[in-house]
Chain A
Amino acid sequence: MMASMVANGNRDGRQGEALVLKGVDPETCMIVFKNHWAQVVKILEKHDPLRSNTSSNMASAVQNYVEHMLFLLMEEDAGQAGAMGPILEFVVMENVMERLFLWSLRRQFTDDMKLEQLKMYEMIVGQARQPLLHHKPVLRPLMMLLSSCSGTAGPEVEAELVSLLNQLCCVLAKDQSVLELFFHTSEDQGAANFLIFSLLIPFIHREGLVGQQARDALLLIMSLSAENQRVAQHIAENTYFCPVLATGLSGLYSSLPTKLEVPGEEWHCLHREDWLQMPTLVQFLNSLEFCNAVIQVAHPSIRDQLVSYIYNGFLVPVLAPALHKLTLEEVMTTTAYLDLFVRSVSEPILLQTFLSFILLHRHENVHILDTLVSRINTPFQLGTVSLALFQTLIGLYCEDVMLQLILRYLIPCNHMMLSQRRVVKERDFYSVSAAKILALTPSCCSPEHSPPPLRQLDSILWSKGTDNSPNTGPLPPPLCKEEQEEHCQSPIYLDVNYLHYLYNARLGISSCTRACQVWSAPYDGEDPPPEEYQPSALEEAGARGRQAQTVNPKRSHPHPRPRPPCPPQTTDPAPTNQLELEWDDSYDAGPVVSPEAATAESSRPPQPPAAEPPKHIQEMRRTAIMLVKGSYIEESDFQDDVMVYDLVAKKDEDHFKVSSLQEKDEVPLSNGLSLPLHPTNMEVNSSEVIKGSKEVKAHVEDHNSNLQSPLATEVGDDLMDQYEELIRTLGSDEAGTGGSSPVKTVDKEFRNPVVTPMEEDEVDFSSFSVDTPELEKQHLSLFGTKLRSGSTKSHSVPFTGPFVSVLLSRLENMLDNSLHVNLLLTGILAQLAAYPQPLLQSFLLNTNMVFQPSVRSLYQVLASLKNQIEQQASTKKDFPELITSAQHCLLARESSLKGQDTNSGDSRECSPPEAGRMMKSSPPPQPKTISLARTEVFATVLFTEFLKELAAIAQEHSILSHVPMEE
């Protein structure tokens, strides 16, 4: 009976036993134990398994006795003052456990027997009432058992092994004194040091319960390492924990689907529901989560090492190439993965690793960031997924991200007229910007045109507070003429919807402001000082910085291990010199990178760069061509960025031309970084990636710095010069294309609303007194233009960065974008607008700001959109009706999204709602079904809402950003 109990690991059975034993006095137990042991010894001596064939009868007899004995051992209480109980003492003296283990070892040590022994130990370790592991005669056979199980074993044994290891780790976590013993026993054996730990490593990436238990156990040791230098040192220096963990990510990554089957066009990121359906992705995320947890709890030396391996063993060799695969679908999939990973990581250091990969790593000499930004402009799903990634990045409130994306282009303040610098910090006291933004509301969407359920009006008490005002009352308030007699307490009707926007704006801005308190600078046009970051200075510094980064890319990813084997970055999980490894061939790193991929990577001959343009260039070219063919090109001011991409592509087609222009093998990019295409240099870079060993790396880096230093000076060439060069060379090509569409003409007056309409002759100089500060500004800015255009023309064409340009370009195309693209776009812009940094705020929201003529502002784009909409509305008769339908549809969508978390993929047709709560309360006037393909209609509705959202943000900024934080 007992045997079956043990065999089944039935703990409930033990309860009964415990009750039985309760009444029994210790002496009796001791007698019984000794008795059993005597029987066992008899059998052991009689039936040496090596000589005679032990009958299964004998074996089960032994088993029976042993189990009974173990129960007695477990139930024994410790003696006085922590002394051993008599049974335990006997076990130690007689070396019971070791003899038992040796006996089973001499028999055929089958999986079944291992299982039996493991369960035995699991039981006594977990349930004994006195510490057993402190005693070598107990510990040593346990260790022997463990090492014997480390070889190939069946899944059952593995499960049991991990379960026991997990239990041992729990004991360790509670009682660190055992730790020393674990180390010592290992030494005795001459085997590897921290056996428990090493045994767990192969299970790191396992799926299911086994993997989970192993990871939990490892985490216990990790938190132990934070306090125990010796453990930390051992793990960092003598184990392959970090490389296994990091390269395991690579392995798991390679088994992810390279192309996702996306549910619909609307899909743009991997939600929980999505990835739960993908076991391989779940497994990857488990491992990533584990890395995150390790970094959170482990000793800094382990943490730094792991981070470094993730960077050099996963991000650079695996993810970077994956982001540059050949098909749109593959690249889109990788982008969606990257987005998911960034969202899944919470530990700042790990996040930093991912972010520095995105922001600073160069793949084939192009920053990953630049590639990602350029993809926003692809009109396919890749563009949407890229947008979603940036939404995630912006939502991190990370200074480094914002710096690279936008702020560094705004710091020099070259995007505005010189005189405007002081306006940066000014606050908009009277909601002037909000009013100007809302004034762009298309006439077909103005509040009074919407029927009741769409226009949620509510009465707001808006009194003038004049009731008790003595004598000279103010003018009769215009809002309530009717009720003048009643002291004007009449409610007026306001757009409730706008109140929601204000409320959300307030929440958004305050949390962003709070988050940004950890930033290094206010970015207010004074700090960092614009003078120090003028394009020339900036570029030099940037080049220096980049050079430093290139020379020592590991600065933030230290390589503390003195002699780490290179992270086995690809296939073979078991390095060849197995002898040195402390765990043997059971090392299981999970699925691995396909060998083909690995060889392709390493054996690819160093291509002469001119033979085939790099992939990103090809891609940009594709993008650019599409854009040229598409409608974008019709906007005359589109040139900023897309033109540059186009140019890059054109340039690239004729590489020799570039060479002659640049006199160097460099391809200028839109962001002003040049692409050194020096063959040797490239080769060095790729070899650096492939080889992992530090020595090699150090050597390569030396080499690298030598190579790069002469180039770096050229890299330092002014960004703007190159940019301008591009524009100029394109100019001739472009002159022909600019047809004069009516939209464009109307557009013009919005380009520079303040400067253009005012001829200099008309300026009344007498008006520039202190009384008219605003006019004064205008004047100064006029002056500023002249001044600048005279002196600095050659130097800089102001550029607010590729990210802003690309966003605005897509926004400009709003009427043709699908609904979900517009939702993402406006979402991102609203997110950006909520940032409290005056540079950003003034650029996006301050409609009074006078920018350089070449700089496109959000307001200009919005104004041109308004014109396009008005045009549409005037030419299409049924436009108002369609608008109403679209409004109903969107309202229904919103309430149905609120009802259910997930949105069903099918939304080609947008039918009137059944569940819309708002609709129920008031009968809708029979909204028609409208197809989502009517993008211009949906865009119009969305545009109107976006204006409100922006205006609300602008209004809240005027208050929130100026509230003293401390009182």
Chain B
Amino acid sequence: TYLNDFWEKGRSDGEEQSGEQQQQQQQRASPARPSFGKKQLPSIPKNAVPVTKPASPAATAQLANGTHASYGPFYLEYSLLAEFTLVIKQKLPGIYVQPSYKSALMWFGVIFIRHGLYQDGVFKFTVYIPDNYPDGECPRVVFDIPVFHPLVDPVSGELDVRRAFTKWRRNHNHIWQVLMYARTVFYKINTMEPLNPEAAVLYDKDVQLFKSKVVDSVKLCNSHLFDQPKMDDPYAISFSSWNPAIHDEAKERMFTHKRRPEDHQKGLQVSGLSWVKPGSTQPFSKDDNPPQS
């Protein structure tokens, strides 16, 4: 099983490098939702014909609310981008997420379980973030296929996240914590107030049966790995089997491109100046001559 090219790359460079596939998609469906790394805003040339169609009554109504109404979406968007940069920073083991193309409020994810009862499980999930974030409820995590687990709803696939985040507090709670929690659940099984009572009871009473059920569930999930993504979104995570024509080169680049993203654009390199000796705050305190650039 190999990860899809574009997905792996998206992760490997943190944000900057998106695979060709992704880029094509971006071009095709241009402005609205840029990927994170290329967070470039839709290019609307200044000389473009401005949209002159009259604002819909709804839009006008929103604008009347003052600056917050006008800029609110920007604040939300940037809050979510900030959350995403935090996730990247955390380097959560075995967890990968990607905001969807359509909305910053919906993130696609996949989690790899590397040991324990759920070893070898690869579970795709979606994170739904309330649109009054960060002042609303905690984000929801829904598995594509309901994993057999005491805290996962056997019908909807939703993980009981709320028990860990009874009240979502801005500045205090972050989405990476939710992801972290989603991972922990598979290593430390909790059977209190389960969403899947059957699983809870089995775990407490008949671990062997529980284990075999889990193995079946993992098998089931993995057998659907190559299915089309549940959601029709350009940034949905999709898996495909190894195709040397596509993946070899991508893999190659992944391992060679450990450099900083900005090294790619040598032409734009702007070099600052400093003659301050580290540990000093005196200008021109460096003993040696200034570095030649």
Measured CB to CB, the residues of A under 8 A from B are 300, 304, 348-349, 351-352, 355-356, 359-360, 396-401, 403-404, 407-408, 411, 427, 429-431, 434-435, 438-439, 441, 446-448, 452-453, 456-471, 474-475, 477, 479-482, 489-490, 492-496, 498-500, 502-503, 506, 510-512, 514-521, 528, 533, 538, 541-542, 545, 556, 770-771, 773-774, 917-918, 921-922, 951, 955, 958-959, 962-967
Bound state CA distance, A588 and B144, in angstroms?
85
Cβ–Cβ contact A349 & B260, under 8 A: no
- Across the interface, which residues of A come within 8 angstroms of B231, CB to CB? 468
Q: A458-B44, A515-B270 are in contact. Are A447 and B70 (CB under 8 A)?
A: yes
Bound state CA distance, A430 and B68, in angstroms?
13
- Across the interface, which residues of A come within 8 angstroms of B68, CB to CB? 435, 438-439
- Interface residue B52 (Cβ < 8 Å from any Cβ of A): yes
Bound state CA distance, A496 and B39, in angstroms?
16
Bound state CA distance, A966 and B262, in angstroms?
10
Bound state CA distance, A921 and B15, in angstroms?
38
B286 to chain A, nearest CB (A): 8
Closest 6 CB pairs between A and B? A465-B103, A465-B106, A461-B32, A515-B272, A397-B272, A400-B283
- Interface residue B50 (Cβ < 8 Å from any Cβ of A): yes
B266 to chain A, nearest CB (A): 11
In the complex, identify which listed stretch (B126-134, B188-196, B198-206, B242-250) lies at the interface while the others stay far away: B126-134
- Interface residue B171 (Cβ < 8 Å from any Cβ of A): yes
- Across the interface, which residues of A come within 8 angstroms of B56, CB to CB? 482
Bound state CA distance, A50 and B102, in angstroms?
100
Q: A352-B275, A435-B68, A545-B282 are in contact. Are A514 and B270 (CB under 8 A)?
A: yes
Cβ–Cβ contact B284 & A556, under 8 A: yes
Cβ–Cβ contact B85 & A400, under 8 A: no
Bound state CA distance, A461 and B277, in angstroms?
50
B212 to chain A, nearest CB (A): 28
- Across the interface, which residues of B come within 8 angstroms of A446, CB to CB? 66-67, 70
In the complex, identify which listed stretch (B76-84, B112-120, B179-187, B220-228) lies at the interface while the others stay far away: B76-84
Bound state CA distance, A10 and B142, in angstroms?
87
Cβ–Cβ contact B274 & A511, under 8 A: no
- Which of A456, A474, A502, A966 is the most central at the interface, judged by chain B CB atoms within 10 Å of its CB? A474
Q: A441-B67, A452-B50, A921-B52 are in contact. Are A435 and B75 (CB under 8 A)?
A: yes
- Count: A-B pairs, CB below 8 Å: 275
- Across the interface, which residues of A come within 8 angstroms of B280, CB to CB? 520
Query: How does the 8 Å CB contact mask read for B39-51 relative to A, with 1 for contact and 0 for none?
Result: 1111010110111
- Across the interface, which residues of B come within 8 angstroms of A963, CB to CB? 14-15, 85, 88
- 30 cross-chain CB contacts under 8 A: A304-B289, A348-B291, A355-B284, A397-B273, A398-B272, A398-B274, A429-B83, A434-B71, A435-B68, A448-B60, A453-B50, A457-B51, A462-B103, A466-B105, A466-B128, A467-B102, A470-B156, A474-B128, A492-B73, A494-B74, A498-B71, A515-B271, A542-B282, A918-B46, A921-B50, A959-B39, A959-B78, A959-B82, A962-B85, A967-B14
- Across the interface, which residues of A come within 8 angstroms of B158, CB to CB? 470-471
A419 to chain B, nearest CB (A): 16
Cβ–Cβ contact A503 & B14, under 8 A: no
Cβ–Cβ contact A448 & B64, under 8 A: yes
Bound state CA distance, A464 and B129, in angstroms?
9
- Across the interface, which residues of A come within 8 angstroms of B79, CB to CB? 429-431
A370 to chain B, nearest CB (A): 14
When C-beta atoms are compared, the residue in chain B nearest to A951 turns out to be B71
When C-beta atoms are compared, the residue in chain B nearest to A304 turns out to be B289
Bound state CA distance, A496 and B277, in angstroms?
44
A845 to chain B, nearest CB (A): 13
Cβ–Cβ contact B47 & A918, under 8 A: yes
Bound state CA distance, A967 and B44, in angstroms?
31
- Interface residue B172 (Cβ < 8 Å from any Cβ of A): yes
- Interface residue B89 (Cβ < 8 Å from any Cβ of A): yes
- Across the interface, which residues of B come within 8 angstroms of A401, CB to CB? 283
- Interface residue B209 (Cβ < 8 Å from any Cβ of A): no
Q: A446-B67, A774-B171, A966-B260 are in contact. Are A360 and B281 (CB under 8 A)?
A: no
Q: A352-B290, A439-B67, A492-B59 are in contact. Are A955 and B130 (CB under 8 A)?
A: no
Contacts A349-B290, A514-B262, A516-B272 given; 9 further ones with Cβ under 8 A?
A399-B275, A427-B82, A429-B170, A448-B64, A456-B51, A479-B58, A499-B42, A771-B167, A959-B82
A415 to chain B, nearest CB (A): 16
When C-beta atoms are compared, the residue in chain A nearest to B293 turns out to be A348
Cβ–Cβ contact A430 & B170, under 8 A: yes
Cβ–Cβ contact A460 & B73, under 8 A: yes
Q: A471-B156, A494-B70, A511-B270 are in contact. Are A403 and B276 (CB under 8 A)?
A: yes
- Interface residue B253 (Cβ < 8 Å from any Cβ of A): no
Bound state CA distance, A499 and B13, in angstroms?
25
Partner of B75, one of A430, A480, A517: A430
Partner of B172, one of A351, A496, A773, A962: A773
- Across the interface, which residues of A come within 8 angstroms of B134, CB to CB? 429-430
B177 to chain A, nearest CB (A): 13
B121 to chain A, nearest CB (A): 21
Partner of A457, one of B46, B50, B262: B50
Bound state CA distance, A543 and B285, in angstroms?
14
B285 to chain A, nearest CB (A): 8
Cβ–Cβ contact A519 & B67, under 8 A: no
- Across the interface, which residues of A come within 8 angstroms of B105, CB to CB? 464-466
Partner of A348, one of B12, B270, B279, B290: B290
- Interface residue B292 (Cβ < 8 Å from any Cβ of A): yes
Cβ–Cβ contact B75 & A495, under 8 A: no
Cβ–Cβ contact B282 & A463, under 8 A: no
- Interface residue B213 (Cβ < 8 Å from any Cβ of A): no
B229 to chain A, nearest CB (A): 11
- Interface residue B94 (Cβ < 8 Å from any Cβ of A): no
Cβ–Cβ contact A771 & B169, under 8 A: yes
B28 to chain A, nearest CB (A): 14
Bound state CA distance, A774 and B134, in angstroms?
15
Cβ–Cβ contact A408 & B281, under 8 A: yes
- Interface residue B31 (Cβ < 8 Å from any Cβ of A): yes
Q: A397-B272, A439-B68, A482-B58 are in contact. Are A464 and B171 (CB under 8 A)?
A: no
Bound state CA distance, A538 and B282, in angstroms?
10
- Across the interface, which residues of A come within 8 angstroms of B292, CB to CB? 348
- Across the interface, which residues of B come within 8 angstroms of A403, CB to CB? 276, 281, 283
Cβ–Cβ contact A459 & B51, under 8 A: yes
Q: A452-B50, A458-B51 are in contact. Are A400 and B281 (CB under 8 A)?
A: no
Bound state CA distance, A498 and B100, in angstroms?
23
Partner of B274, one of A400, A475, A542, A556: A400
B236 to chain A, nearest CB (A): 10
Bound state CA distance, A489 and B232, in angstroms?
14
Cβ–Cβ contact A463 & B274, under 8 A: no
Cβ–Cβ contact A360 & B274, under 8 A: no
Bound state CA distance, A513 and B139, in angstroms?
33
- Across the interface, which residues of B come within 8 angstroms of A462, CB to CB? 32, 73, 103
- Interface residue B21 (Cβ < 8 Å from any Cβ of A): no
Bound state CA distance, A918 and B51, in angstroms?
11
- Across the interface, which residues of A come within 8 angstroms of B89, CB to CB? 962, 964
Cβ–Cβ contact A964 & B106, under 8 A: no
Cβ–Cβ contact B70 & A431, under 8 A: no
B144 to chain A, nearest CB (A): 11
- Across the interface, which residues of A come within 8 angstroms of B33, CB to CB? 461
Cβ–Cβ contact B282 & A773, under 8 A: no
A958 to chain B, nearest CB (A): 5
Cβ–Cβ contact B282 & A955, under 8 A: no
Cβ–Cβ contact B40 & A503, under 8 A: yes
Partner of A475, one of B66, B132, B156: B132
- Interface residue B230 (Cβ < 8 Å from any Cβ of A): yes
- Across the interface, which residues of A come within 8 angstroms of B272, CB to CB? 396-399, 512, 514-519
Cβ–Cβ contact A965 & B59, under 8 A: no
Q: A463-B102, A506-B40, A955-B74 are in contact. Are A519 and B275 (CB under 8 A)?
A: no
Bound state CA distance, A458 and B63, in angstroms?
13
- Interface residue B240 (Cβ < 8 Å from any Cβ of A): no
- Interface residue B208 (Cβ < 8 Å from any Cβ of A): no
